[in-house]
Chains A and B, each alone.
Chain A
Amino acid sequence: MNVYAVRAIYLFELHRTWRTLLQSIATPVISTALYFVVFGAAIGARMTAVEGIGYGAFIVPGLIMLTLLSESMSNASFGIYMPRFTGTIYEVLSAPVSVLEVLLGYVGAAVTKSVILGLIILATARLFVPFGVLHPVAMIAMLVLISLSFSLFGFILGVWADGFEKLQIMPMMVVTPLTFLGGTFYSIDMLPPFWQGVALFNPVVYLVSAFRWTFFGIADVNVGLSVAMMAAFMALCIGIIVWIFRTGYRLRN
């Protein structure tokens, strides 16, 4: 295990975050705060409680999830796309590092950043609405697991993308709609029966549901099923990454 390489990549990536602190931390915090002002305070005040939980508090897990998914993806995809774009990837490819070490460095840094961000948003939310966390350990574990899955997914995206447009298109065209439709702002029980069935094909429903369960002990779908879905998604991403390195796809000619 080339520990020095893992550390070098990890610190390099965190250093990038530090350098771009304003975009990295402040932007998502501000946008989340806006959601709370609009949906939590302004509209939420007129909404009835969902399953006994005030609407402002109900949307907290979903909003954290919204930021977590997009930030995990964009951090990890940007982390590997930039060296490809500038050509500095030659150094990583010629270095004595394995797939695992490259992932620990790039994805590890993306996960670290996402988890910190998630916790900051959690703290920000607490300023606007009162709520408690029923299963804090499970909540943290879920935060890490979901950041990891989507950072892996972002890594794949960063290897696949051959332009900045493609880098943006997945988060904007796929993940944001799925998150909005994934029960961030509502319980899927509130949907008509047909759309409830459709919603079950949306992977984000499982994430939001399980994450909300760690806060309030209520879930749209079975928590075990949610965790199984996450594990399956992560296994798929790891499989694709191993294939990428084995075949050299978009990395080595």
Chain B
Amino acid sequence: MDSIVVVSGLEKTYASGHRALKTVDLTIRRGEIFALLGPNGAGKTTLIGIICGLVRPTAGTVTVGGHDIVRDYRAARSRIGLVPQELATDMFERVWDTVSFSRGLFGKPRDPALVESVLRDLSLWDKRDTKIAALSGGMKRRVLIAKALSHEPDILFLDEPTAGVDVELRRDMWAMVRRLRERGVTIILTTHYIEEAEEMADRIGVIAQGEIILVEEKAALMAELGQTRASIGLTRPLAALPAELAGLPLALSADGQTLSLTIKGASAEAEAGVADLVRRLSALGLDFKAIDVSRSSLEDIFVDLVGKRS
């Protein structure tokens, strides 16, 4: 495994006494899309802030591409592109100028061809001479992404990139994230839209109350912690669960019309379980009119995980 960001023993206590991070250890692999999930105030932005140089850690170390973020900050920071959560932009600058400024700030010589391609990728080319103040919120978000990509970073941090963004931009943004990954860029994102993390991420980290409570391959996480629910609408209501079905993870609704089966674990086993139940129902001569099978989402898993802790 080739790691690109290594966080070890990281702690942060703000001057107010608030402990935003309590001993965080985390390793990000080169080239992956890592989604950091957590409720508001969990420490996501603090963690990203420390890695990017905006927040000073109280204890612990971070290396980026092998470079310590404090001792060797130049080498570490020049590899990172950051898209912050807030729409912080200059108002009176033109799009082209502000993106070129970012490139220079990160120590890269002028490269109009590259800036052009970044702007085109983000559908900003037509707006290159527009003052930022005249852009919509979604366009400003694109400008922030363009600024972060202007110096060709190896690692891109996206802090809530899709908050308050319309459907079209979200789709464009995820297309861009995929393209970047194909080029070998490592992407670390936080999002409130957990279905997006479910769709995009290779690995998921969950942070709550300043601690990383879980880091897992998305597929493994979904398999381990996911569950399948099947609801079977019966033709004739049942007074009680038949003895033949005892031992299965079954529940009968109060009106006796719906059987609910809940199976934890990977989807293949769960599907076999549902098929098995259907066969048994047929054998018992219990007729049914509808079957609805659903798989729990990452969101359910997340709510469950975070809920247990609070």
Point out residues on A near B: beta carbons under 8 Å: 2, 4-5, 7-9, 12, 15-16, 19, 86-88, 90-98, 248, 252-253
Our pick among A88, A94, A96, A97 for the contact of B54 (Cβ within 8 Å) is A94
Q: Which residues from chain A contact B55 at a C-beta distance below 8 Å?
A: 252-253
> Within the complex, what minimum Cβ distance (angstroms) separates B130 from chain A?
15
> Within the complex, what minimum Cβ distance (angstroms) separates B230 from chain A?
49
Interface flag for B261 (CB, 8 Å): no
B54 touches A252 (CB 8 A): yes
A95 touches B88 (CB 8 A): no
Interface flag for B201 (CB, 8 Å): no
B53 touches A94 (CB 8 A): yes
Distance in angstroms between the alpha carbons of A7 and B88 in the assembled complex: 22
Distance in angstroms between the alpha carbons of A94 and B54 in the assembled complex: 6
Q: What is the interface size of chain B, counting residues whose CB is below 8 A from a CB of the partner?
A: 36
A86 with B89, Cβ < 8 A, contacts A15-B97, A95-B77, A252-B56 known:
yes
A2 with B107, Cβ < 8 A, contacts A94-B54, A96-B74, A252-B55 known:
yes
> What are some 20 contacts across the A-B interface (CB < 8 A)?
A2-B107, A4-B104, A4-B107, A4-B108, A5-B104, A8-B101, A8-B102, A8-B103, A19-B92, A86-B91, A87-B88, A91-B147, A93-B53, A93-B54, A94-B52, A94-B77, A94-B82, A95-B77, A252-B55, A252-B56
Residue of B nearest to A89 (CB): B88
Q: Which residues from chain B contact A16 at a C-beta distance below 8 Å?
A: 92
A248 touches B56 (CB 8 A): yes
Q: Which residues from chain A contact B88 at a C-beta distance below 8 Å?
A: 86-88, 90
Residue of A nearest to B157 (CB): A94
Distance in angstroms between the alpha carbons of A86 and B75 in the assembled complex: 27
Our pick among B75, B105, B109 for the contact of A91 (Cβ within 8 Å) is B105
Q: Which residues from chain B contact A2 at a C-beta distance below 8 Å?
A: 74, 107
Q: Which residues from chain A contact B89 at a C-beta distance below 8 Å?
A: 86, 88
Q: Which residues from chain A contact B75 at a C-beta distance below 8 Å?
A: 96
Sample of 11 more A-B contacts, CB < 8 Å, known A96-B74, A248-B56: A4-B103, A5-B104, A5-B106, A12-B93, A87-B86, A87-B88, A90-B84, A93-B53, A95-B77, A97-B105, A252-B56
Residue of A nearest to B148 (CB): A91
Residue of B nearest to A247 (CB): B56
Distance in angstroms between the alpha carbons of A92 and B107 in the assembled complex: 12
A253 with B56, Cβ < 8 A, contacts A4-B109, A90-B84, A95-B105 known:
yes
Distance in angstroms between the alpha carbons of A28 and B50 in the assembled complex: 43
B107 touches A96 (CB 8 A): yes
Interface flag for B253 (CB, 8 Å): no
> Within the complex, what minimum Cβ distance (angstroms) separates B264 from chain A?
42
Q: Which residues from chain B contact A248 at a C-beta distance below 8 Å?
A: 56
Interface flag for B189 (CB, 8 Å): no
Interface flag for B268 (CB, 8 Å): no
Interface flag for B274 (CB, 8 Å): no
B77 touches A96 (CB 8 A): yes
Distance in angstroms between the alpha carbons of A91 and B91 in the assembled complex: 15
Distance in angstroms between the alpha carbons of A91 and B14 in the assembled complex: 21
Interface flag for B47 (CB, 8 Å): no
Distance in angstroms between the alpha carbons of A199 and B74 in the assembled complex: 47
A88 touches B90 (CB 8 A): yes
> Within the complex, what minimum Cβ distance (angstroms) separates B229 from chain A?
44
Our pick among B54, B104, B108, B109 for the contact of A90 (Cβ within 8 Å) is B54
Residue of B nearest to A10 (CB): B104
Distance in angstroms between the alpha carbons of A132 and B89 in the assembled complex: 47
Residue of A nearest to B82 (CB): A94
> Within the complex, what minimum Cβ distance (angstroms) separates A19 from chain B?
6
Distance in angstroms between the alpha carbons of A92 and B53 in the assembled complex: 10
Interface flag for B78 (CB, 8 Å): yes
Interface flag for B28 (CB, 8 Å): no
A96 touches B92 (CB 8 A): no
Interface flag for B193 (CB, 8 Å): no
